[in-house]
Every structure is written in structure tokens, then in C-alpha cells.
């Protein structure tokens, strides 16, 4: 079976760099994936595309060494299993607030006898190899998103679910649920909770991923012990780069 490149990155003691795709384009996905990212995540929750477009994006990512992952819209078994069958090598599940929800998510990700994933890997075999079914439970990463006050209250119970690979922190949603606003920089209270998530994950041998609004925050999170950082999404990077060019052109025109 094809090894999960993220696990190789971590064995080398590095923090993985993850790209985040919200634009529904296989060409755009291919361009991003050919950059030296360790993983590329297709965002089906807030991305502006449907599941058929997500398939073409996963196919494009698979032409590169980047690990293809998907953030699903919800903890829905048929949808999670569908993106797994499409070849996702990691699934980020939003709004995991309780142990029961996390257990259901992990069961969906795993084949019997450890879960209830239905057999039908389709493109999973094409990407992962003929022995995909034998190794998928460990190679394909399950990420539970921590983004609500309730999730923080149940953090220890969620982190102790057998078969879970990692916690993925959504700092904007945490800021909203704890402070009522999205702030950058984050408040000291939110930062303390982020640090607690990392500590609890470490205690349970889980990986930690996080979405970062900028490079400065990403550097802090790497230093704090995160295993995977995402710096902005493709739409945000496009706005930032285009805005910088426009500003530079205006300065040139003024000269």
C-alpha cells in the first residue's frame, strides 16, 4: 500500500505544511499541489464546489507527492466514506463536540472489525494500491476538528477515542464561540485553549493540525508543537498576492 507521506514527514521530526483549497478547479488544485506542500486539503465544507469537482481535484493532487485530504461538510457516514473511496488519505471532520460524535466518525473511517466502513474503495485502490483495504485504517488519517466551547469541555474524552489520529484546531470558530468575535491576533484566552488542545493531544499520542491566518501565527504554532499547519487558503492567498501586485503597480505609476 502507498505510504502516507505525512507520517514520513513526522518520522523525520518535521512539521507538515498543508495547503487548503476553496476554489473548485482541478487545474488550480494541480498548480498548488505541485508546490512543495506536504499535503493539500480539499474543503468540501466551505469550498465553492460540489463532490464531483472534489473528485477531479483529488485526481489532480494525486499527480504530485502531496498527500490528498478532504474536509467534509459534516459528520455524515456516507459522505465520509465516499471521499475515502475517492482516494482521500486524510479526512478532517468539523464540529466534533462529544466523544460519541468522535466515536461515530472513527467507526466510519475504519473497516470491520474496528469500524463500519463499507467495502467499495474504488479510487482508493487506484491511489493506495491493491492492498489498500489491509492498511487503510492506519494509513488514512482521521482528524477531529476542535472549534467549539463544548468540544473544549469534552476534550479529554474526545482525545481518548481509540483509532483517532489527530485533532485539527479551528481558531476562528474557537474565537467566535469563546469571545463572540474573530480576532487576529487571538485573545489570550483562546491562545490558552489552543495550548491545552496541544497538550492533551500529546498526552494521547495524537497529531495536531491548525489553520493559521498568517505565517507569523503559523511559526508560533510550530514552536508550540503542532504537527501540521495550514497558512491561509487558496482564495486568501490569491487576494493577498493580487493586492500586493496592484499596490506595487500603483506605486510604480505614481513614480
- Which residues form the catalytic set? 46
Rounded Cα–Cα distance for residues 220 and 217 (Å): 5
CA 50 to chain centre: 18
Torsion angle, alpha carbons of 43, 47, 49, 51, to 10:
30
Contact 218, 211 (CB under 8 A): no
Helices (H), the chain: 5-11, 26-33, 51-61, 77-85, 99-109, 123-128, 132-139, 149-153, 155-159, 171-179, 188-203, 215-224, 234-254
Rounded Cα–Cα distance for residues 171 and 165 (Å): 19
Rounded Cα–Cα distance for residues 234 and 119 (Å): 33
For the stretch 22-46, what's the b/e string if a residue is b when 16 or more beta carbons lie within 10 angstroms of its beta carbon? bbbbbebbbebbeeebbbbbbbbee
10 Å Cβ neighbour count for 87?
24
Residue 13, all three cell numbers: 521530526
Amino acid at each position: 500500500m502507498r505510504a502516507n507521506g505525512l507520517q514520513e514527514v513526522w518520522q523525520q521530526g518535521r512539521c507538515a505544511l498543508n495547503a487548503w483549497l476553496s476554489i473548485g478547479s482541478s487545474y488550480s488544485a494541480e498548480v498548488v499541489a505541485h508546490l512543495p506542500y506536504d499535503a493539500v486539503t480539499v474543503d468540501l465544507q466551505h469550498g465553492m464546489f460540489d463532490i464531483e469537482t472534489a473528485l477531479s481535484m483529488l485526481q489532480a493532487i494525486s499527480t504530485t507527492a502531496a498527500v490528498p485530504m478532504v474536509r467534509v461538510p459534516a459528520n455524515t457516514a456516507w459522505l465520509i466514506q465516499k471521499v475515502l473511496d475517492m482516494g482521500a488519505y486524510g479526512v478532517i471532520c468539523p464540529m466534533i463536540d462529544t466523544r460519541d460524535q468522535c466515536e461515530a466518525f472513527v467507526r466510519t473511517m475504519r473497516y470491520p472489525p474496528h469500524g463500519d466502513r463499507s467495502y467499495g474503495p474504488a479510487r482508493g485502490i487506484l491511489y493506495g494500491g491493491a492492498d489498500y483495504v489491509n492498511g487503510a485504517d492506519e494509513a488514512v488519517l482521521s482528524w477531529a476538528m476542535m472549534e467549539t466551547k463544548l468540544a473544549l469541555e469534552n476534550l479529554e474524552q474526545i482525545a481518548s477515542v481509540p483509532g483517532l489520529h489527530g485533532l485539527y484546531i479551528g481558531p476562528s470558530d474557537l474565537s467566535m464561540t469563546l469571545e463572540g468575535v474573530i480576532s487576529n491576533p487571538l485573545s489570550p484566552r483562546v491562545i490558552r485553549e489552543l495550548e491545552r488542545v496541544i497538550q492533551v493531544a500529546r498526552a494521547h499520542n495524537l497529531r495536531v493540525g491548525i489553520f493559521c491566518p498568517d505565517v507569523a501565527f503559523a511559526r508560533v504554532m510550530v514552536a508550540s508543537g503542532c504537527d501540521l499547519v495550514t497558512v491561509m487558503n487558496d482564495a486568501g492567498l490569491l487576494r493577498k498576492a493580487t493586492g500586493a501586485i496592484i499596490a506595487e503597480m500603483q506605486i510604480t505609476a505614481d513614480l
